[in-house]
């Protein structure tokens, strides 16, 4: 089954064709959903909720119930709802209103999904991983974004501080012609915002890699730990980028089948090109970190060998001088025992002979150790 973005057709209150299928009108005259009345009390999870018509924002709302009622009153309108960590009750009301599939809703509640694109009837469910580079901590922060795209609605569920889609919303609102293309244009804007958010992360990782290279060659003690941390971040980043390439590929593969608007095709291809560039740079970073890790291991081993060699040289020097000093001690100890019956004990040349023997043994040992470069 090919997954792709369709073109936005004309809509009526009776039928709304989208994604290669026909959606039956789900609007009810009252404000009662399948799970019961939709409460209008504002919730913290609701970031933004607005209704658009012909590419222009016609109303903004502080609750899901108000949004549902406003959308029902405008058969040709589109709702764009932004949520952050909603509770199951809020997602249940969305599922009842927009006929969202149970599996997609379950994924949106639990999070921890890999980037993917799935179709449930006339609704697309897209999981994206957004990133942000924290300059102060010099690390990459990851967050999850779930997007439901239907015939006349877009619902974003954010699990984390990023991405901030307010800039993407303002950009699309400034381009009424693009926004008039409907939910598919909103999905393009979200994809573009997420991929654009990868650029600062790539730049931050490049800067970290440059710094770690300098630290490695400066024999920094924390280099190995930092290389490991960077490698983990790059690997996590790669796990966010690679599946997204498959998502965009699936979308582009369906251009012809679903008669996607040519302008949207061009813009989605541009997003795919940017993502390919990011993926290539990330792969380059990973290769660079592998090389740095190899060089660091070589330098560490070399430094350890040098330290071991220096320690061995010191031990050899100490041992050599100890042996040299030990020889006179042995001679002096023998002749210092003061036995009455000892050779050379009463010899007139005994003292100079003993001193000469001490000196001779010491010199011989010094020459031997010197020839072996122990001292």
Per-residue pLDDT, averaged over 236-265, amounts to: 82
- The three-class DSSP label of residue 313 is helix
pLDDT of 337: 65
Per-residue pLDDT, averaged over 351-366, amounts to: 79
Closest among 144, 83, 150, 60 to 110, alpha carbons compared: 144
- H or E element, residue 36: strand 36-37
Q: Start-end ranges of CATH 3.30.460.20 in the chain?
A: 15-300
Architecture of domain 309-371: Up-down Bundle (1.20)
Which residues contact residue 201 at a Cβ distance below 8 angstroms, ignoring those fewer than 6 apart? 131, 132, 133, 140, 237
338: pLDDT confidence band, cut at 50, 70 and 90? low
pLDDT digits (tens, 9 = 90+) for 295-312: 888 877 777 777 777 777
pLDDT over threshold 60, residue 354: yes
149: pLDDT confidence band, cut at 50, 70 and 90? very high
Q: Which residue has the higher pLDDT, 4 or 196?
A: 196
pLDDT of 16: 36
Which residues contact residue 217 at a Cβ distance below 8 angstroms, ignoring those fewer than 6 apart? 299
pLDDT of 274: 92
pLDDT digits (tens, 9 = 90+) for 17-72: 333 332 333 443 334 343 444 444 444 578 889 999 999 999 999 899 999 999 99
- H or E element, residue 64: helix 64-72
pLDDT of 340: 65
8: pLDDT confidence band, cut at 50, 70 and 90? very low
CA atoms of 67 and 354, how far apart (whole Å)? 111
Q: Could you tell me the CA-to-CA distances from 128 to 20, 145, 192, 220, 243 in Å, in that order?
A: 23, 5, 11, 37, 9
pLDDT over threshold 50, residue 148: yes
0.85 exceeded by pTM: no
334: pLDDT confidence band, cut at 50, 70 and 90? low
368: pLDDT confidence band, cut at 50, 70 and 90? confident
Contact 78, 53 (CB under 8 A): yes
CA atoms of 70 and 53, how far apart (whole Å)? 11
pLDDT digits (tens, 9 = 90+) for 85-139: 888 888 999 999 999 999 999 999 887 888 999 988 889 999 999 988 888 777 8
CATH entry 3.40.50.80 includes domain 15-300: no
How many CA within 13 A on the CB side of residue 201?
Answer: 30
Q: Start-end ranges of CATH 1.20.58.340 in the chain?
A: 309-371
Closest among 184, 204, 180, 181 to 192, alpha carbons compared: 184
CA atoms of 299 and 213, how far apart (whole Å)? 12
């Amino acid at each position: 089954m090919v997954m792709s973005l369709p073109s936005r057709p004309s809509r009526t209150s009776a039928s709304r064709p989208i994604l290669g299928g026909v959606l039956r009108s789900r609007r009810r005259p009252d404000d009662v959903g399948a799970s019961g009345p939709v409460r209008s009390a504002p919730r913290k999870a609701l970031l933004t909720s607005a209704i658009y018509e012909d590419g222009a924002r016609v109303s903004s709302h502080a609750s899901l119930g108000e949004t549902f009622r406003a959308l029902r009153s405008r058969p040709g309108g589109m709702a764009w709802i932004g949520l952050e960590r909603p509770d199951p009750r809020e997602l249940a009301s969305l599922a009842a209103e927009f006929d969202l599939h149970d599996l997609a809703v379950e994924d949106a509640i639990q999070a921890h999904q890999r980037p993917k694109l799935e179709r449930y009837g006339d609704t697309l469910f897209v999981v994206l991983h957004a990133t942000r580079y924290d300059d102060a901590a010099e690390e990459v922060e990851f967050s999850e974004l779930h997007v439901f795209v239907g015939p006349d609605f877009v619902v974003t569920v954010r699990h984390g501080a990023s991405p901030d889609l307010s800039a993407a919303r303002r950009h699309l609102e400034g381009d009424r012609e693009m926004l008039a293309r409907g939910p598919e244009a909103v999905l393009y804007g979200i994809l573009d915002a997420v991929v654009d958010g990868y650029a600062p992360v790539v730049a931050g990782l490049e800067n970290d890699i440059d710094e770690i290279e300098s630290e490695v060659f400066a024999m920094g003690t924390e280099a190995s730990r930092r290389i490991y941390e960077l490698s983990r971040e790059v690997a996590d980043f790669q796990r966010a980028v690679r599946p997204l390439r498959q998502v965009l590929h699936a979308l582009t593969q369906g251009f012809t089948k679903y008669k996607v608007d040519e302008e949207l095709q061009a813009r989605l291809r541009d997003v795919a090109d940017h993502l390919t560039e990011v993926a290539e740079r990330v792969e380059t970073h990973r290769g660079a970190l592998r090389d740095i890790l190899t060089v660091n291991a070589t330098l560490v081993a070399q430094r350890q060998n040098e330290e071991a060699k220096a320690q061995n040289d010191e031990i050899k020097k100490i041992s050599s001088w100890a042996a040299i000093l030990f020889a006179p001690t042995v001679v002096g100890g023998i002749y210092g025992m003061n036995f009455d019956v000892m050779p050379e004990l009463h010899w007139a040349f005994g003292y100079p002979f003993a001193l000469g023997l001490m000196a001779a043994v010491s010199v011989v040992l010094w020459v031997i150790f010197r020839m072996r470069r122990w001292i």
